[in-house]
Amino acid sequence: MIAALNGAFDDISKAMRLHRVWIALAHEDIGDQHRRTTLGPLWMLVNYFAFVGTFAFVFVTKDASNPSYIAYVAIGMLVWFYLTETITMSVSLFQREASFIQGTTLPLFVYVMRLTMQCIIRAGYSLAGCVLILLLSGYGINTNWLLSLLGLLLLILATPAFVVVFAFLGAFFPDSEFIVGNLMRVGMFFTPVFWVYSGQEGVQEYAYHWNPFTYFLEGVREPITAGIFPGHSLAVTGYFCLGLWAIALLLLGLYRKRIVFLI
Amino acid sequence: MTSITLNNVSLVYRLFEKLTLSAPGRRRSALGGNIAKSGTKQVVQALDGVSFELKAGDRLGLVGPNGAGKTTLLKVLYGIYQPSGGTISIAGKVDALFNIHIGFRPEATGRRNIVLRGLISGWTAAEIEEKMEEIIDFSELGDFIDLPFKAYSQGMAARLAFAAATTLEPEILLMDEWIGAGDASFQEKAKRRMDELAEKAGIIVLASHDDALIQRVCTKKLTLRGGRVESLA
Ligand SMILES: Nc1ncnc2c1ncn2[C@@H]1O[C@H](COP(=O)(O)OP(=O)(O)OP(=O)(O)O)[C@@H](O)[C@H]1O
Ligand SMILES: [Mg+2]
């Protein structure tokens, strides 16, 4: 156990010393994904606007009197897209990096940070879109936005742990790539991304209270749409983060040398 | 002091697919390691009780038929594979050239690839900048250095990879096969570079099927067969 944790911390500290590598590689990745396109990474912004626009257009009729719905969807989509993208890309991370893993001795955490970095850069474009939507729908910048940053910070802190857990899952159980992919697609409907929970019973009640993603979303959203300090959500996400990091460290410590034989 | 010591090192690959092999004893191959069963899993014994010692200035040639375990041994030396048994101790900074495409990004220019390669080997941006011209000169790529890597011929890619790896001054250099891709004049240059490296008390391990190359470059020769050391001279 102690040896495992030492191994994990060793891997992580080596990766941190190589931070220039994963920062450079993440930038290359973003560039590669949009090579030879005219809009380049701005496509991420277009994609985000298209989704928020569709949902706002389809569902706003009922809540037409309530402009905060657009803000609700805009922030919900921002966080949800970030989580989905991170998790689905994590599952196939080690397979995608096979040639580097089999050809260099970089610590595994370098690949984890590379993906984390890549997801954060991509989310940056959506974030810019989100801020624009908030401003246009009449939310001036105020101190509540700072509380939202707390939620975003927790989300970013949790990201490497998410990546490690799902990357190992994908390496040890190749089927999980398809299972996780489908679950995340369905998951959008079981998470309060675009529907508002106001005490309904049945499925929605469970989907709201027992879904960890709810709290990641609410931690960022509540300060802006409801103007409250999301104490409960932040506490739940905080504990969730700690648990996730504990699992991630154990996996990294115990199994990092096995990955190269599995891919 | 640069050195490599291997003691009774073995390595098995586990196979995850269910295999049906023909009746035992039928198609035994002269190539490759032993295919065996361990519990319910099939395994390939790629290295079996390999021991040897190298000290500063040694240039070892690894020879043996296809599947003898040469690439596997180099990857164990580099630290990519943890041996399944035995011990290994290495003193010195190791760099390796396995496959031209490993560690190079096809979309990025040659210049950018040198930067990435340097960062991966733990060099700072300033150190890489300092060596950049030397690498470009040695590779003789000229203006091609600013073209994407995917636009290079095999030999050009090999020149770049070799120039980058050796200019970054590793103490131990592992090479698998492929410098044969360079033309005669480059091979001559590469040989001189390897001589220099060995004189600076480095160690070179080179796997190749080209006996003439091994004769020219190496001072020792290790023959592997079926994962076992057949001879060391
Ligand atoms: N990923 C793998 N999974 C299972 N078996 C493998 C794997 N890689 C290599 N082997 C087996 O290990 C043995 C040694 O392979 P290796 O690649 O080291 O040979 P080599 O000496 O480099 O051969 P060559 O001259 O063809 O390059 C072979 O029997 C091969 O089938
Ligand atoms: Mg080989």
For chain B, give the DSSP string.
Answer: --EEEEEEEEEEEEE-S---PPSTTSS--SSS-EEEEETTEEEEEEEEEEEEEEETT-EEEEE-STTSSHHHHHHHHHTSS--SEEEEEEES-EEEE--TTTT--TTSBHHHHHHHHHHHTT--HHHHHHHHHHHHHHHT-GGGGGSBGGGS-HHHHHHHHHHHHHHT--SEEEEESGGGGS-HHHHHHHHHHHHHHHHTT-EEEEE-S-HHHHHHH-SEEEEEETTEEEEE-
Which chain B residues have a beta carbon less than 8 Å from that of A35? 107
pLDDT, tens digit, 9 for 90 and up, residues B12-44: 998 877 666 665 555 667 777 778 777 777 889
Give which of B95, B101, B74 is closest to B165, Cα–Cα.
B95
- pTM beyond 0.95: no
How confident is the model over A152-179, as a mean pLDDT? 96
Q: How far is A190 from chain B (nearest CA, A)?
A: 36
The response to whether residue B182 sits with its C-beta less than 6 Å from ligand 1 reads no
The response to whether residue B68 sits with its C-beta less than 6 Å from ligand 1 reads yes
pLDDT at B214: 87
> Would you call A18 helix, strand, or coil by DSSP?
coil
Residue B212 has pLDDT above 90, yes or no: no
The response to whether residue B118 sits with its C-beta less than 6 Å from ligand 1 reads no
User: B205: which residues sit within 8 A by CB, 6+ positions away?
Assistant: B4, B54, B59, B60, B62, B74, B77, B172, B173, B174, B175
pLDDT at A148: 92
**Residue of minimum CA distance from atom 25 in ligand 1:** B66
pLDDT at A64: 54
The residue with greater pLDDT, A34 or B133, is B133
Which among A99, A104, A260 has the least Cβ separation from residue B81? A260
Residue with tokens 């960062």, as numbered in its chain: B119
How confident is the model over A121-130, as a mean pLDDT? 94
pLDDT at B33: 77
Smallest-distance ligand from the CA of B43: 1
pLDDT at B95: 87
B63 Cα: distance to centroid of ligand 2 (angstroms) = 10
B68 Cα: distance to centroid of ligand 1 (angstroms) = 7
Check A35 against B107: CB less than 8 A apart: yes
Check A260 against B80: CB less than 8 A apart: yes
- Residues measured by CB to lie within 5 Å of ligand 2, the ion: B 71
Question: Does the complex come out with an ipTM higher than 0.85?
Answer: yes
Task: Look over chain A and give the mean of its residue pLDDT values, rounded to a whole number.
Answer: 91
pLDDT-above-70 percentage for chain A: 97
User: A249: which residues sit within 8 A by CB, 6+ positions away?
Assistant: A4, A5, A8, A9
Check A25 against B116: CB less than 8 A apart: yes
Which among B82, B103, B107 has the least Cβ separation from residue A103? B103
**Residue of minimum CA distance from atom 11 in ligand 1:** B46
A40 touches B at CB < 8 Å: no
* Chain B interface residues (partner A, CB cutoff 8 A): 13-14, 16, 75, 78-82, 96, 98-99, 101-103, 105, 107-108, 112, 115-116, 119-120, 122, 124-125
How confident is the model over B49-76, as a mean pLDDT? 93
Q: How far is A154 from chain B (nearest CA, A)?
A: 29
pLDDT at B179: 62
Q: Which atom of ligand 1 is nearest to the CA of B70?
A: 21
pLDDT at A109: 97
Residue B2 has pLDDT above 60, yes or no: yes
Q: Which atom of ligand 1 is nearest to the CA of B65?
A: 25
Give which of A136, A144, A125 is closest to A40, Cα–Cα.
A125
Residue A114 has pLDDT above 70, yes or no: yes
How confident is the model over B103-131, as a mean pLDDT? 89
Q: Six-digit token pair at B109?
A: 């220019």
How confident is the model over B143-153, as a mean pLDDT? 93
How confident is the model over A248-262, as a mean pLDDT? 95
The residue with greater pLDDT, A210 or A141, is A210
pLDDT at B167: 87
Residue B184 has pLDDT above 60, yes or no: yes
A26: nearest CA in chain B? B116
Q: Which atom of ligand 1 is nearest to the CA of B227?
A: 14
Interface of A with B in 75-104 (CB under 8 A): 99-104
